[in-house]
Structures are given as C-alpha cells and as structure tokens.
Structure 1
Amino acid sequence: MEFFQKAKVVRLRSHHDKYMLADGDQENVFQDRNGCYMNAKWIVDVVENSNFIRLKSCYGKYLTASNMPFILRGTGKKVLQTLPTRLNSSIEWEPIREGVQVRLRTRYGQYLRGNGGLPPWRNTITHDVPHRTATANWILWDVDIVELRPQTQAPKPRPRPTPITPPNHSMNATPTNLSPCPSPSSSPLISEMDSLVKIDLRSPTTSESEDEIECLSPLKEGRIIFYDVGNDNGDIDDAKKESFFTFKGSCASELKDKLKEETGLDDIIVCCRNPLTTKLYPLHLQLPPNSIDMHVVVVPSSFKLQ
C-alpha cells in the first residue's frame, strides 16, 4: 500500500514486461511494451479508512473488475474501464506487496492478471485466481511512480498570549496605611512590568509569509538532464563544462528527441555510463521513476559499443 499512498500517477508493468494501457474505445484495457503513451498512466485514488485504491484512466474512467467472462467456460473475467453512477466495490483494488512487486486483489479475492501466450489471451488483462504454477507470476505487477502526491502540511497553531496578572491590593487598606507615592524608578510595579517578556501579536509581514512559503520545498516539475557530447570513441572533452536542461518526459525516445534539439545533432545515440566499469551503454529502457536527475553522454551513431 505504501507504493500508492505517496503516488498520484503510476504505470503498471506486468510479468511480461508490458504496461497496462487504457484502450481508446474507453471501455477495454490491454498490454503494450511502450509505456510512453498517456493511456499508460493511471491516477491513484486512495479509499479512505481502508487499504483499497481506485485507478482512473486518462479518459476519466475507473479500472473495473466486471462479472463478464472473458471467454465462454473460462475462469477469467473481463477488466474494463467504467464510470458507475455510484462508486462500488467493483472498482476497488487492494495492493498486496510481494517483494518489490504488488498484487492487486478485488473485494472478492481475485487478482488483476496480465495474460500471455497465443490469441485470444495475448496482451489481454483479466481478473482471476491462478490455478497453475506456470501462470502464478502473471498476477505480479511492477509499479512505476510517474508523479508523487503533493504533501499537505497542517497549519501551525498561533501561540496564545501570556496573561498578565495585576498585582494584588489589600481590600482592607485604609487611608492611614497609605504611603506617599514612590518615584517611578523605585516602584515595584514598574520593575515588575519591565521584567515581563514582550509579546508580539502582530500578523506576519508579507516578506515573512513569502519566506515561509518558499521553505515548503514544493515538488519540482521534471528532472534535470546533465549531458556531455562524445566522439566516435565515446571520449569527452574535459575542458567543456557539462550542459544541462529540465526534462518533463518519461521515455527514452522523448529524451533522445530533446537531446537532438539541444545539441543540434541528428544521428545520435544516448548512452549512460556504467558506474563500475565506466563503459558506455545505450539507453533504450524507460527512464528512472520519481524524476531522478540523470547524467548521459551523446555520441554519434557510428560509435561502437564495447
């Protein structure tokens, strides 16, 4: 559940290394290896006072465990996109952690499953209870956090002013007991008032409020991409300073197009450096989640991988 409590938008990757996508017909769901599409992103709604979540597609519809069988006489049932008039249990899923992966279970004990094999099962998604060992891992999903949920901070309580207790005067005082008025410098009341701590009940100034807002550390938009341009051998000119820019995408192909625009080069390969061997390897997979900053090297397509 901790995967989803901090996440606002996620992508789900099945055991077959394919992402769950919402179909453009706004009714079905399927699997695809390319997770760069907008319909691969799912908005997380946490159900209050429970361990269940709802997943909403880019079309504003919820991931739903239907009662319709996927095929005749089959145990698997269809998973659809629906928008019920009243929110019910069919759109609620319970995340169950399994190592670094999760299983998504319905209220009725069935699991979200990414199917493989031959048609009509290939790239389909159903909910079922696996009965064979060979398909037991088909209900395991990797969660890629695309956008974190903004943290809400409770307002700080304003301090209460300290009450000032006046000095006690004897109720039985008579004119014969009164003494001449002491001088201000020797009055015990003045001395007591001088020793009181000053209490400032003014509201904070505009600059103070702005400083407090700036200290909230809001989430940054996108990630910082640091890059160097190498030659055909992958060598980098150390005299040149590493360049950088802000990147809001989530796919290697989008990053490659952005680097073409930044460098002015057309036929390039985007590489990362192995921290152990210091060798370059091409970046083909999805970018790291949570908008982690990256260091890459841009080399010509004639570069030969070692």
Structure 2
Amino acid sequence: MEIVLSTDEEHSKLEYSNITIREFILLGFSDVPYLHWMLFGIFFLMYLITLLCNSIIILITRIDPALQTPMYFFLSNFSFVEICYVTVTIPRMLMDLCTQKGTITLFSCALQLCLVIMFGGMECLLLTVMAYDRYVAICNPLNYPLIMNSKISVQLVVACWVSIIPVVTGQTYQIFSLPYCGSNKINHFFCDIPPILKLACGDTFVNNLAIYVAAVAFIMVPFLLIIASYSKIIFNILNLSSAGRRSKAFSTCSSHLIVVVLFYGTAIITYVIPKSNQSESMGKLLSLFYTVFIPLLNPIIYTLRNKDIMVALRKLQTKLSIYRTT
C-alpha cells in the first residue's frame, strides 16, 4: 500500500528534515522529579568515595615498595582510568539534577561520548592485560620477571591507549556526521551511543555495523582472551600440590575475576546484544550500573580481597598517625 503525501505535507516534512540540531537535552531522571535531591546526594557521595578509594590505590602502589610490581602497576593504571571514567559522566549528571535543565551542546555531547567510549574501552583492555599478567605469574612463574618486566608493562599500557584512541575518535566522528533533525531529547543521563543513534535522521546501518564490529573487537575478543587465560590459570592452580599455594593463587585472581564478570556482563548486554531486546529504561539502568556502581565497587573489591593492599593501607595509616602526633 502506497501512502501519498499532499503538497503541504511534503513541504512541512522537507522543512522539518532540514532543521539541524545544535544542542541536545538529556532527560536523565526527569520522570522522577521528586527524587532529584535524594539522587543528587546519593550519586555525589558515591562519586566522592570512588575518587577517594581509587586515589588511595594509586598512592599506595606508588609509595609502597612491596607493591612495585607489574600487577599493581596495571591496577594503578586501572584506578586512574576509573577516576577519568566517572568524572566524564557523574559531575554532568549532578549538575543536571541541580539545574533540572539537561541542555548540552552538540560538541560537548560528542566529547562526552568520545571520552566515555575511550575510558570504557581502556578498562576492557587493561582487564585483559591484568589477566595475562596473572596467567604468566601462575603458569610460568620462573620466567615472570623476564616476561613482565617494567619496560614490557609500560609498553602494554601504551599499546592499549594507542589502539583505542583512533578507533574511538573515528567512531565519534562517524556518529556525529549523521544528520540530527528531529527530536533533540536524549532519554539518558549522559551521551551514549544507543540513545543518540535513535535521534539520527539518516540511515544508521553502517554506524550500527561499525559499532558492533568495534564492540566485538574491544569487548568480546578481550573477554574471550580473559576466559582463555583463566581457564589455564584454574587448571594450573588445581594441579598445585600445596593447599596453601592454591589458596594464595586463588586469592590473587578472585578480585580481578569478580571485576571482570561485573564489568563485561553489563558491557556485553549494553553494546553487543541487539537493542530491540532492550527497553530504554533497562538501558538507562544498565548504564547507571556500569558508570556509577561498578567503579565504586571495583576499588572496594580489590582492597578488601587483597592482603598486600590491606598491609600497605595499614602502613600508610600508621605513618599518618605518627605524622599527626609529631
């Protein structure tokens, strides 16, 4: 059945499609205005705790000689990326909760999207590098100092940045090269790929395909490499003769494994599973989980389940107590 538009309808549609959007409106939590100040207090407190915990991890891995190892070098880099990741999203969300406006320029939206994808991708790659570090330490301990020396550790982190930056920049340019001429309301609390593409007027097939390929490359492939590493790790741990050695090996890997499951679980659901199977409310909830809750949980998981970090924290606390009394 063919629908024929009248001349007036065609004219109005043409005029509407020629309007170029210069700014967006982040709806955020506008559907629950009575909860704005409570949400502001909760998210602000969570943001401060996330900054504090990750900053402490960076500090103690720098000043404690016992933590001058590749494992904690990667952990400090991961904590730095976590700080950047939450800083890109939460302060903007807090400001919108205060002003209840949510207006964001096209450039600011593009910049936020670029940084969110970049830091999220870096977390994926760093988690993979950390899994490889644990694989070498447990499966090839005699050659660990040679394979994972300080030079190699720095090169691995640099390689992560070098691989993610051009891909993310290209993705962002491709997304914001599309025409946006309809509604400018983003049903989200930050500029994320799925809600932005819903507002595009042009054909988004190529964009969705590129995003899916990038998601497979930076989410699924690292995830499979982590699974392969931990399969080898678990096999080697089970073959250890000493129960004490098995317990120590499991303790050094369990924290990382918990973080991997939490982070990759939400990332795969958000960016790999087809969006037709996911409502906007569910997408917003998942984004809230991996942009606010997981960065808060990660340093807590690493500190509470890591004996070396707990010892370093006690040393730091003792030094601070002595400094205050003198």
Shorter chain as denominator, the TM-score bin is under 0.3
- Point out which structure has higher relative CO (alpha carbons under 8 A, 6+ apart): 2
* TM superposition score normalised by structure 2: 0.19
Structure with more of its chain in helix, by fraction: 2
Work out which of the two has the higher radius of gyration on C-alpha atoms and give 1 or 2.
1
Structure with more of its chain in strand, by fraction: 1
